[in-house]
Amino acid sequence: MDPAAPSPSLPDSGVSAVIPAYNYAHYLERAVRSALAQQHRPLDIIIVDDGSTDDTPDIARRLAAEFPCIRYVRQENAGLSAARNTGIREARHPFLAFLDADDEWLPAMLSTAMAAFQTLPPLTALVACDSFRVDSGGAAIGEKRTTKRGDRFFTAADILMKTRFMPSCVVARRSCFDASGLFDTGLRSSEDRDMWLRIAALRPVFYIDRPLVRIRKHGSNMSRHADRMRENMRRVRRKALRDHTVSQTGPGFWLRVLAVDHFQAGWMYWDEGRSGRAILHAAASLLLWPLPLDHRDLHEPPFFRLRAAARFLAPFRKREAPGSST
């Protein structure tokens, strides 16, 4: 199928796919081909090379020569936010979709989002979907069982409480960036959460409870840098408080936000093998808000914070068990 052929179902709803890439030559072609395989047309693909030093430029140029709908833009290394902003400026269509170079879309991702836009209120700025994780080779990673959230609108308060979707899951109206501004280049992680917060503060954000994106987990993921992630989460939270991005201002709301942030930080440190820090953050979460949090709203299993604390403590209990070697 010609990637530039018009869509018979949504002929006036073109999408520009922005693919930022920095030293992801190993994954880039799979990401681009998942965009080319989309059922929705027309499609404009912009690969933004953020100063890669690997084979990313060669792969991007080859794909751009093979497919007329692909454009390759190279810039000096300036970070993920700057690369996405370059893609937004280069976009030709009224809708924007973001695909990280190590992720992949299922073929129905864009068509599902665009069909939702047709039925939602005209002011809806953004449609996002669910995702599932794969390993570096593309094999699915077992997910924890949680309750389904269902299709729904998310508010800025919802997104501040917890990141609700990944960047590769988002299709947004290009016009919403005129009102909300572009990605904050001062943030080296959590820049997506900050962006969706600012958009949701002004216009509706809709979520489709259907996994249509493969999120690749590997050693180079930004989420593996717990200290940096933790600092940027704090900066996003303080920025939202300073700018009155959310309407909730009571202490109970902000204590719950802090409790969820500490819970998430605990898992980030656990994934890095830093068990002591993981336990400290789990304890901080429970101390800040000892009452139950709504696990269904947060898409977590029941008693999720207690489960995490027990998981973090398990290695220490084994070392201290009677008869264990010292």
Domains, the chain, in order of start with CATH, read: 15-222 (3.90.550.10), 250-320 (no CATH)
Q: How far is the CA of 186 from the CAs of 105, 112, 165, 194, 295, in angstroms?
A: 28, 33, 21, 11, 32
DSSP annotation of 124:
-
Contact yes or no for 6/12 (Cβ under 8 A): no
pLDDT on residue 222? 55
What is the value of pTM for the model shown? Answer: 0.89
**Closest of 128, 54, 46, 35 to residue 84, by C-alpha:** 46
Angle 6-93-71 (CA atoms, 0-180°, nearest 5)?
A: 85
pLDDT on residue 156? 96
**47-60 pLDDT, tens per residue?**
999 999 999 999 99
pLDDT on residue 95? 97
pLDDT on residue 6? 37
**Closest of 219, 198, 197, 305 to residue 261, by C-alpha:** 305
pLDDT on residue 69? 96
pLDDT on residue 13? 84
Strands 170-173 and 95-98, bridge-based pairing: antiparallel
Q: How far is the CA of 4 from the CAs of 19, 39, 82, 86, in angstroms?
A: 17, 11, 27, 22
Which residues does the chain have with pLDDT short of 70? Answer: 1-12, 142-147, 219-224, 318-326
